[in-house]
Structure 1
């Protein structure tokens, strides 16, 4: 009589914990993907703003920074700060890590844009290796 009895497979024996665990893992992966996507999106919005593009252009043309960091100079990590648009005015207050083949630095930009014209209150690069600060607004 025992010979006619079939043994359950792995899933038949373990479905009570395997299904909830699998669903939990899928939910966790989904949450991580959403948070990562939001983080990437916000960081991209800040890095692609006209204020940051203008600041990076000034960085890439500044002889002091080029001699300290080498070329090419690019953004090298997580941009932090705020960008806010209200009533046609955009405010920017960001910190951007930058790097070149010979060193690293941090770009700090504070500015406002109104009617497609940017005015900057602060735009400096702190060079990590030499502890030097370069003001990018000196020529304005």
Structure 2
């Protein structure tokens, strides 16, 4: 029998290949996000998620519209995750935004289209439309606030 000590390699020496692989994958992912433009898209969703006031006024106007209530019934409150069901596009200077978000009513669902500009600390809306998707027999665009175009 031998009484020699067994020297085990340290954690880093045993796992250096995995560390390098994870490091390379992480930086490849960061490069992909920044070079593909996906970072800007994620940033837009982040801004919209953080600024719930952007959707407050349009949703109040939609809920008080008689034609929308006639078709969809009572509109459900919009949760923070509803933003991910739509599309959002901020301008380069973050002063204007166009958004489409799904809204749900008792009798169906629709898409809410919003265009607005940030002026003197407030959103000024230039267009608010409701596009009825469901029930399918009623395909209609209801202008809540008409575009100035």
TM interval, shorter chain, is: 0.5 to 0.7
Which stretches in structure 1 are left out of the alignment for 5+ residues?
A: none
- Which structure carries more strand by proportion? 1
1:18 aligns with 2:18: yes
Structure 1 residue 118 corresponds to structure 2 residue 121: no
CA distance in 2, matches of 1:137, 1:12: 62
Shift of 1:65: 1.8
C-alpha deviation, 1:82, in angstroms: 2.7
Match of 2:36 in 1: none
With the length of structure 1 as denominator, give the TM-score of the two structures: 0.60
Secondary structure of the structure 2 residue equivalent to 1:128: strand
Q: Over aligned residues, Cα RMSD in angstroms?
A: 4.0
- Separation in structure 1 between the aligned mates of residue 57 and residue 76 of structure 2, nearest angstrom: 14
Residues 90 and 97 in structure 2, CA contact (< 8 A), matched pair in contact too: yes
Matched, 1:57 2:63: no
Partner of 2:143: 135
Alpha carbons of structure 1 residues 119 and 17: separation in structure 2 relative to 1, 3 Å:
closer
- Aligned residue for 2:46? 41
Please report how far the alpha carbon of residue 53 of structure 1 lies from its aligned counterpart in structure 2 after TM superposition: 2.4
Q: For residue 11 of structure 1, report the CA deviation from its aligned partner.
A: 3.7
CA contact (8 A) 1:47 1:79 kept: no
Distance 1:118 1:19, change over 3 A: closer
* Count of aligned positions: 128
> Please, what TM-score do these two structures have when normalized by structure 2?
0.57
**Which sits farther off after the overlay, 39-48 or 100-109?**
39-48
CA contact under 8 A between 1:84 and 1:92: conserved in structure 2?
A: no
